[in-house]
Amino acid sequence: MAAINDLTINEEYRLHKKIDELTKKKNEIEIMESKHNEEIQAMRDQMSQILTMIQHNPKLARVKPEALMKKNAT
């Protein structure tokens, strides 16, 4: 009977430890997802700026986006 209690306690401990590990991983994934969404939004904003610049001056359609971003930053 004591062996069963010991096994139950060890199993409960193992499950609690596993829950803690999975919770930590879930939190890390949520942080990564949030950062990823911020990066995507920043890229969309940059693309929007580039498209706006091209709409104002169609000649800019032949210019590399990096050059447009440098021009916009100054």
* Cβ atoms 52, 68 nearer than 8 A: no
pLDDT of residue 39: 97
pTM exceeds 0.75 for this model: no
Query: Residue 20 is part of which domain span?
Result: 2-73
Digit-coded pLDDT (tens) for 22-48: 999 999 999 999 999 999 999 999 989
pLDDT of residue 73: 61
Digit-coded pLDDT (tens) for 6-23: 556 788 888 889 999 999
Structural domains counted in the chain? 1
